[in-house]
Amino acid sequence: MAAAQRLSRLIVPLAIGATVAQSALYDVPGGYRAVLFDRFSGVRPDATGEGTHFLIPWLQRAILYDVRIKPRNISTTTGSKDMQMVSLTLRVMSRPDIEHLPKIYQSLGLDYDERVLPSIGNEVLKATVAQFDASELITNREIVSARIRDDLLNRAKEFNILLEDVSITHMTFGKEFTSAVEQKQIAQQDAERAKFVVEKAEQERQASVIRAEGQAEAANTISKALSKAGDAFVQFKKIETSREIANTLSQNKNVSYVPAANGNMLLQVPSQQQ
């Protein structure tokens, strides 16, 4: 009986001690940091890293922050420099500055990104788009995106937020401007098509001129040759033509001679073998 009483007296303090020890430990998972709040001194100036740490129960409390990169889309509709309505969507990859987590907790709390990014994102988008005409937003999209990225990076740093990537994922314009752009593209295509037809016709005309010049040159050369040779060339062509005719007729069994200008051209007709 006495042993049981002594054991019960030990169990109670051990249980209390285990509870206190457990409440004095806190874990910081991977990808997180902790800000320690002290009831007497307030927020501690340094964030604690991953792992298991000690704190004073009731007196201190650990606040966990997810410091991994988080994506967010920011959308807005605003006017361009030439008063065209533009709808944009911006993708932002952000994370908190670990060195300034205590300041973030003091000024913004846990939902720091929700409080800051939509506001400064809309501010930068509207200010940047207002500096360009609608057509420039299309042709100079990379320049516009770079300016938005630089301005947003600087604004986010003021709130101890780091941006890993900023890019425009969506950009649309009002119906009137879109229709005007489509009509302009159609007109440009028609102009290119007409230009091609004109160039093709010009090339064909030049080819015809070159062929005509070549034929004229050939005729001129032949005329000069005939003038120089006199009737000799004509007589030569007559003889050549007569030979071709004779060669053709010689293949016919019913023809035995061919009349010629200066007599008969006898043909040797092969006799049929009986």
- What is the distance between the alpha carbons of residues 223 and 215, in angstroms, rounded to a whole number? 12
Whether 198 is covered by a domain: the verdict is no
User: Do 76 and 168 share a structural domain?
Assistant: yes
- Split into its structural domains, the chain has a count of 2
Whether 205 is covered by a domain: the verdict is no
> Is pLDDT at 266 greater than 60 in this prediction?
no
Share of the chain above pLDDT 90, in %: 49
Q: What pLDDT digit, counting tens, does each position of 20-59 carry?
A: 556 789 999 999 999 999 999 999 999 999 999 999 888 9
- What pLDDT does residue 94 have? 97
User: Do 107 and 169 share a structural domain?
Assistant: yes
pTM of the model: 0.61
Full domain range(s) for residue 25: 12-66
Domain limit, last residue, from 173, 199, 227: 173
- What is the distance between the alpha carbons of residues 135 and 143, in angstroms, rounded to a whole number? 13
User: Do 155 and 105 share a structural domain?
Assistant: yes
Whether 56 is covered by a domain: the verdict is yes
User: Do 97 and 19 share a structural domain?
Assistant: no
User: Do 62 and 75 share a structural domain?
Assistant: no
| Among the listed residues 134, 113, 121, 116, the one whose alpha carbon sits nearest the alpha carbon of residue 167 | 121
Domain limit, last residue, from 173, 203, 238: 173
Whether 268 is covered by a domain: the verdict is no
